[in-house]
Amino acid sequence: MLKRYTKPPMDSVWVEQAKFDQWVESLLAVLYARVQKRQIDQESFDLISQSVDVNVERVHELDKEFQHDAQALIETVRESLRAAGINEMTTALMGARITSYDMEDPAFGVLIVKSLDLILLELEKLLITLKARASEFRRTKCIFMTHGQPAVPGFLGIKFCRWIASFERDRQWIRQARENIRVGKFSGAGGTYDELDPDIEEIACKRLGLEADEASSQIIQRDRHARVMTALAICACNISQAANELWGMCSYPRNEAREYFSPTQRGSSAMPHKKNPIKLEQLRGMSSPMRSYAMAALEHIMTWDERAIDQSSTERIIWPDATTLVHYMLTTLRETVGKMIFYPKRMQANLDYLQGIWAAQYVKNVLWDKGVFELKFFESGFEEPNRKCEILPTYKWIQLCAFVAWDQSTNQPVKPLRAVLIDQGIEIYLDEEELDPCFDLNHILRNADVIYSRFGI
C-alpha cells in the first residue's frame, strides 16, 4: 500500500497489527465455540481472552525461524499467555485442532468485508455528489461527442446520469460480492471436520459475523474472492471512464471544464502557465493495475488438490493494494467532481460554433418519414442559373449539404446547415413547420426529464 494513494480510514484495515489481531480473533472464536459445546471450561477461555497479546516484532522473529507466519503468530500468543502465568494445558488450547487457514481464511474474509464496507460508504458519498451536480447542470446544453467528433446536442446533467447508473451497478455488484465473501471455515486440513465438528464451525463463524462455508478444502474456494476482485476492477474502470470524459472536457480547445487548482499548486515543472488536470489523469491510469489484480484473482481459483500455497503470496499483495486503491479512487473522484469548475458559456459557444451541422440526421429522418428517398443536389445552388444537379439518395444528399456547411479544406464550419439546405431547395420537400424541430434544441432534448426522473433528479 503506497501512502500516497491511501486514504483514512482504509489505512488502518490492512496494517500488520490489524491482520494479526484478526487472526487471534479466529483462534478465540474456536475456543468460544468449544466453550458453548462444553469441550473446554469458561474459566480457561476467560483467562486466555483477557491475557492474550500480539507482539508483531516477536512474530517476525519467530517467522524467520519457522518460515511460517501462522505458526509464528500462534507461538507468540502462547508466549504472552505463559508470561501472564497461565499454565501450559490452558496455553496449548490456542491454535489447537485447527490448520493455519482455519485461522487465516475467516480473518481474511473479515478484513475484506471491512474494506468493502468502507468502499461502499465512499460509493454512497460519490453518488450523492454526482446527483447534486447532475441537478445543478440539468439544463446546461453542450455538444456530445462520438469518436472524438461533435455528434448531437445534450445536457451536461445527462453525462452525470450515465456515471450515476454505472456506480449504482457497482454498488449492487459489490454488495453481492460482499455477501459472497462473508464466509469462514474451521473444517480442518482437508475440509472434512476431522478435528472439529460442523456445529463448532457454525458458532465460531457467527461470532466473527460470518456464515459457515458449505464445503471447503483446506481453504475457502477462491471463486468467492475472484468475484469480489472483478467487481472492484469494474468499479475502477467506471471511475477511469468518468475521469476520462471529464479530462476531455478540460482539454484544449474545448475548455468546458477545469479541475480545481489551488493557489499554491504548480501545474508543470517547466511551464508556469499550466493547470494540468492531474487528479483526473491519476484516475484514468489507476484502473490498469486493478485489471491486473482481477486477472491474478481469477488465475487463483484453480488450486492443486485440496491446497497449495500458490495464491497466498499474491493475495498478500493484491488485496491490501486493490481495496485501498479503489477506496482512494472513489474518494478522489468525489472530491474532484465536487470542486470541479464547469463553463456553461463555453459549452454554448462550442455548440453555436457548429452552426447546426448536428441537425443533419434529424433532417434526413424527417425526409425519410415523408417518403423522400432521392433528392436533387445542385452544384452551384438551387437559385443559380445554368445550375447542374445530380439525383442522390437522401443520406448522400444531406451528407453533401453537411460537407458544404463544414468546409473540408479548412476543416471548420463556414455556413449554417439550414442556410445550405435552403440553397439546395429543401422547401420543395419540407415546409418551415417540418424543418424547425430539426434545429430546435428544446424539441431534440424533450425527453431528458425521463432520464433525470430515473435517478430522482
Protein fold of 6-91:
Fumarase C; Chain B, domain 1 (1.10.275)
The class that CATH gives domain 100-349 is mainly alpha
Cα(257)–Cα(246) distance, rounded to whole angstroms? 7
pLDDT of 2: 84
- Cα–Cα distances in Å, from 444 out to 152, 229, 293, 415, 421? 9, 41, 43, 21, 19
Is the separation of the CB atoms in 408 and 391 below 8 Å? no
Model pLDDT for residues 315-355, shown as the tens digit of each residue: 999 999 999 999 999 999 999 999 999 999 999 999 999 99
Q: What's the pTM value of the predicted model, to 2 decimals? A: 0.94
pLDDT of 388: 84
Q: Distance of alpha carbon 214 from its chain centroid, rounded? A: 30
Burial (CB < 10 A; 0-12, 13-18, 19+), residue 446, is: exposed
What value does the mean pLDDT take over residues 359-381?
A: 93
* Matching residue, cell 499467555: 81
Q: Mind telling me the catalytic residues?
A: 147, 268
Map out the domains of the chain as residue ranges. 6-91, 100-349, 354-453
Q: What is the DSSP letter of 304?
A: S
Q: 100, 239, 107, 291: which is closest to 181 by C-alpha?
A: 107
What value does the mean pLDDT take over residues 85-99?
A: 96
Kindly state the helix (H) or strand (E) to which residue 390 belongs, with its residue range. Answer: strand 389-393
For residues 186-215, one letter each, b for 16 or more C-beta atoms within 10 angstroms of the residue's C-beta and e for the rest, the string is: bbbbebebeebbeebbebbbebbebebbee
- pLDDT reading at 42 higher than 90: yes
